[in-house]
């Protein structure tokens, strides 16, 4: 099974030109050893507990079983002594001289029948060393090749200012990864630059522009939410990293201690399942980094709470309980930095000022479970909500309903027949929206076409299976690039400007890239459209589409 559950773009210019490779030093080896010992001690304790429980059921075993075993052993010894010579087998092995099997052979010069020191596979090591030191040999260039190899590896890791990064949360054969793709627009190239292993199935990912535990310092980081209640912050400028830069949650002290500090915990604490103000106790379903205050990160969880994290201290600054069911979607207001939009499986949407935790909040309702929420970056009074029954809602934030049941949308759109699992609003092109569904299709819409509502511009099956994530590139130069990923474990980047209908719909709003009208639509990436991927996709049809990833931990 291979699938991608979430993706996001990294704006150009934030990634290091030459990411550093993670290097183990003595302190780090010691840290890993101590952490491994903690895990081993816990495993031993669990094993001992299991043994004690097993012993309680066997303490009353009768001694007759032991006597029978002793009698059987004596009978076996008598049989051996009476009729079988135990030395017969030893005689058969004498000719092989097994007692001296590992002894070094004693050979000498001129003795062709016995093995000499140069007859072993390492016997000619001096000769090899001689040729290695022979600088006159044109074929022996080990030092030069080593330097050249380092230079080539450094060039392979290089990220150009014109490159975009795409983060993809992947689960493959029960192993979870965060993959960092490099998208080279001019070269029509998309490839995995590096990846890191995650502790559980990833559910959401967002780019973070603040360095954890370093007030005022910016960086290039990814926040990842998984089936575990902890949030991991990974440094995207480090290749082959083993541990996250920080962990937000109950496990932060036990797992993410700096290498210079000793591990003082003697035993891991049992995870608390009671909701509290300090950390999540269930799966993290949504993440939203604040673009105006880069040290703030909001998270929504299956424990029904929203946490506001301060990355300067990596602690929860506030906790909110605006919903009565799992919080699955978050979106910061584009201009009012303290206003957060949240959506829940309680079928309500809340727009709350995070500076006033106890204040009353405006609340809107929809007819089905919320899948995603988004503010319109081109109209600060408008937000959108997608639901499990395939409907896209447009709301005016100024029109507050008397109750969630009395909510009235500006317009509603039955965009798909199945769950509208993802949608995105183009940050550069006004009125350009994409929707993705578990019906495997991606649809492009012009929501400013007329007063009657959105018009569909194009619809495609991009071969990624059930669509779990679709998002536009954040930079002007690649404004029409759309990344799509889903249940087949493939990422596709679609240059929507190469679609004729898109060009005609938005030509009057922005300057379109120069190209012929009959150009072939440009797709970059490998879609896993093999029969095997189709079979896997059908076999997992009851996953996210029928209950959401958060239901998997209950199963």
Give the C-alpha distances (Å, rounded to integers) separating 176 from 25, 195, 400, 523, 555.
26, 10, 42, 26, 18
- Give domain status of residue 524, yes or no: yes
Q: pLDDT at position 251, please?
A: 79
Overall number of domains in the chain:
1
Between residues 10 and 275, which one has the greater pLDDT?
Answer: 10
The residue that leads in pLDDT, 28 or 4, is 4
> Distance between CA 334 and CA 381 in Å, rounded?
10
Range with the poorest average pLDDT among 250-259, 428-437, 514-523: 250-259
Is residue 140, in this structure, part of any structural domain at all?
no
Q: What is the mean pLDDT of residues 39-43?
A: 78
- What is d(CA 199, CA 377) in angstroms, rounded to the nearest whole number? 34
Torsion angle defined by CA atoms of residues 7, 418, 341 and 378, in that order, rounded to the nearest 10 degrees: 80
Q: 28 falls in which pLDDT band (50, 70, 90)?
A: low
Bigger pLDDT: 235 or 122? 235
Q: What is the pLDDT of residue 125?
A: 44
pLDDT in tens, 228-244: 999 999 999 999 888 89
pLDDT in tens, 75-115: 555 555 455 454 555 565 566 566 665 565 554 444 444 44
Q: What is the mean pLDDT of the chain?
A: 81
Condensed to tens digits (0 to 9), the pLDDT of residues 141-162 reads 554 555 556 666 677 789 999 9
273 contact partners, CB below 8 Å, separation of at least 6: 281, 282
Domain of 191 in residue numbering reads as: 2-27+156-265+272-551
pLDDT band at 370 (very low <50, low <70, confident <90, very high): very high
**pLDDT (tens digit, 9 = 90+) per residue, 446-500?**
998 766 679 999 999 999 999 999 999 999 999 999 999 999 999 999 999 999 9
With pLDDT > 70 as the criterion, what percentage of the chain qualifies? Answer: 70
Residue 238 is assigned to a structural domain of this protein: yes
- Going by the DSSP 8-state scheme, the letter that residue 423 receives in this structure is E
- Among 4-18, 19-33, 324-338, 538-552, which is the least confidently predicted range? 538-552
| pLDDT level of residue 176 (50, 70, 90 thresholds) | very high
The reply to whether 206 falls in a domain is yes
- Residue pair 359/401 in contact (Cβ under 8 Å)? The answer is no
> Does any domain span residue 91?
no
Mean pLDDT, range 243-257, rounded to an integer:
74
Q: Residues 263-279: pLDDT tens digits?
A: 333 344 455 578 899 99
Q: pTM (2 decimals)?
A: 0.75
* Residue 138 covered by a domain: no
**CATH number reported for the structural domain that contains residue 480 in this entry:** 2.130.10.10
Q: Check: CB of residue 343 under 8 Å from CB of residue 328.
A: yes
User: To 5 degrees, how large is the angle CA 356–CA 327–CA 171?
Assistant: 135
Does residue 346 form part of some domain? yes
Residue 88 falls inside a structural domain: no
């Amino acid at each position: 099974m291979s699938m991608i559950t979430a993706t996001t773009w990294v704006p150009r210019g934030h990634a290091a030109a030459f990411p550093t490779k993670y290097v183990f030093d003595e302190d780090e080896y010691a840290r890993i050893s101590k952490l491994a010992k903690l895990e081993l001690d816990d495993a031993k304790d669990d094993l001992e507990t299991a043994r004690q429980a097993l012993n309680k059921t066997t303490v009353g075993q009768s001694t007759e079983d032991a006597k029978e075993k002793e009698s059987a052993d004596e009978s076996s010894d008598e049989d051996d002594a009476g009729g079988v010579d135990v030395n017969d087998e030893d005689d058969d092995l004498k000719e092989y001289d097994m007692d001296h099997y590992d002894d070094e052979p004693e050979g000498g010069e001129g003795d062709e029948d016995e093995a000499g020191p140069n007859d072993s596979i390492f016997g000619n090591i001096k000769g090899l060393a001689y040729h290695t030191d022979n600088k006159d040999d044109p074929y022996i260039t080990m030092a030069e090749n080593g330097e050249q190899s380092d230079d080539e590896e450094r060039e392979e890791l290089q990220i150009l200012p014109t490159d975009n990064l795409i983060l993809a949360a992947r689960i493959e054969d029960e192993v979870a990864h965060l993959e960092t793709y490099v998208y080279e627009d001019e070269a029509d190239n998309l490839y995995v630059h590096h990846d890191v292993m995650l502790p559980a199935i990833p559910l959401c990912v967002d780019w973070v522009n603040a360095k954890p535990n370093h007030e005022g310092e910016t960086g290039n980081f990814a926040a990842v939410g998984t089936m575990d209640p902890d949030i991991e912050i990974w440094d995207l400028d480090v290749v082959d990293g083993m541990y996250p830069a920080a962990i937000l949650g109950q496990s932060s002290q036990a797992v993410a201690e700096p290498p210079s500090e000793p591990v003082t915990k003697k035993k891991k604490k049992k995870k608390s399942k009671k909701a509290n103000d300090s950390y999540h106790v269930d799966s993290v379903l949504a993440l939203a980094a604040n673009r105006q205050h880069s040290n703030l990160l909001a998270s929504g969880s299956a424990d029904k709470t929203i946490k506001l994290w301060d990355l300067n201290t990596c602690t929860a600054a506030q906790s909110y309980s605006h919903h009565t069911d799992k919080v699955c979607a978050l979106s910061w207001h584009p201009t009012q930095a303290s206003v957060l939009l949240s959506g829940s499986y309680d079928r309500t949407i809340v727009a709350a000022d995070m500076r006033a935790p106890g204040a009353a909040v405006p609340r809107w309702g929809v007819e089905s479970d919320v899948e995603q929420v988004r503010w319109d970056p081109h109209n600060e009074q408008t937000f959108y909500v997608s639901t499990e029954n395939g409907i896209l809602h447009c709301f005016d934030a100024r029109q507050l309903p008397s109750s969630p049941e009395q909510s009235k949308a500006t317009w509603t759109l039955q965009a798909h027949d199945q769950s509208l699992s993802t949608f995105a609003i183009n940050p550069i092109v006004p009125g350009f929206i994409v929707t993705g569904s578990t019906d495997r299709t991606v649809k492009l819409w012009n929501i400013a076409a007329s007063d009657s509502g959105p018009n569909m511009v194009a619809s495609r099956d991009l071969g990624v299976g059930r669509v779990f994530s679709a998002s536009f590139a954040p930079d002007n130069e690649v404004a029409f690039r759309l990344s799509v990923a889903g249940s087949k474990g493939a990422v596709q980047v679609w240059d929507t400007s190469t679609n004729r209908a898109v060009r005609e719909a938005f030509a009057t709003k922005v300057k379109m890239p120069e190209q012929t009208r009959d150009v072939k639509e440009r797709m970059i990436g490998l879609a896993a459209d093999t029969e095997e991927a189709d079979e896997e996709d059908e076999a997992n049809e009851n996953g996210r589409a029928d209950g959401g990833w958060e239901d998997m931990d209950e199963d």
